[in-house]
Amino acid sequence: MRPYILAESNWKAIKDQEVELAVLPWGATEAHNYHLPYATDNYEGTAIAEEAGRLAWENNAKVMVLPTIPFGVNTGQTDIKLDINLHPSTQAAILNDIIEVLDRQNIHKLLILNSHGGNNFKPLVRELGVKYPDMFISFCNWFQSVDRGDFFEHADGDHADEMETSLVMYLQPQLVRPLDEAGEGKSKQYRIKALRENWAWAERKWSEVTEDTGVGNPKKATAEKGKAYFEAVTQKVSQLFVDLAEADLDNLYE
């Protein structure tokens, strides 16, 4: 049993255990091209949280990794079979209830470890921060923590691409179909210039943007690349765990 993973721990250990920082991995259940499993984001987020938790724990950080929330916001994929959508208001309600428990039990630091691009926690964190003024609520997107270009040839994708394929080949190789069965992950752009330039935003209808549900070419993925990237990401994320666990909430700025 790993004492920093709530799902593995028990009341005997937990009741006297000091917890400075709760970590909540948040994923999604959605199609990932033809070759990766629907729970790709959950496998990634869980593995990164657990390994970063181990590294932080060994650095004396009092962290506790909560179970991964397996459903995320998939509002652009209503016609893709069995993509399970949580509306943002539902996500806010779930997050509220978890924070209510932490706040009541004097665990005042929470990091949401986001594993899915459709989850947007900023407005939720703003609102819940007003409601729970003693809480320090933060989130990170692990997929933005290190530069993909240092690890992958096709680094411009964002869904079931070379990065995600390499990670799952490393973490859950038995769940990856042979890469010759994978689609190319080609995606279309908006005709509207400002939307292409990313300073304006509108939901993309996923089924019209991509043929195989992927965005980004997965063909050059390898487990070795996945391992190197996983190690870099977990190092960086574990430092965030340590910094948050050690932070003095009355003295955050310099």
Chain residues in the site for Zn ion (CB under 5 A)? 40-41
Of 47 and 128, the one with the shorter C-beta distance to Zn ion is 47
Is the backbone of residue 224 left (phi > 0), alpha (psi -120 to 50) or beta? alpha
The least CB distance from residue 159 to Zn ion, in Å, is: 6
Residue 36 vs 242, nearer CB to Zn ion: 36
User: Is the four-CA dihedral 138, 142, 144, 145 of positive or negative sign?
Assistant: positive
**Angstrom distances, CA of residue 55 to CA of 23, 38, 72, 77, 210:** 14, 28, 27, 36, 38
Q: Is 153 left (phi over 0), alpha (psi -120 to 50) or beta?
A: alpha
Minimum separation from the CB atom of position 164 to Zn ion (A): 5
Query: Cβ closer to Zn ion: 40 or 238?
Result: 40
164: tokens are 């995600």
Counting beta carbons within 10 angstroms of the beta carbon of residue 254, is it exposed (0 to 12), middle (13 to 18) or buried (19 or more)? exposed
CB of 36 to Zn ion, least distance (A): 8
Q: Which is nearer to Zn ion, 8 or 181 (CB)?
A: 181
Q: How far is the CB of 32 from Zn ion (least distance, A)?
A: 6
CB of 121 to Zn ion, least distance (A): 16
What is the distance of C-alpha 41 from the center of its chain?
7
Comparing every residue's Cβ against Zn ion, the nearest one is 41
| Residue number, 59 or 120, with CB nearest to Zn ion | 120
The neighbouring-strand residues paired with 29 are 84
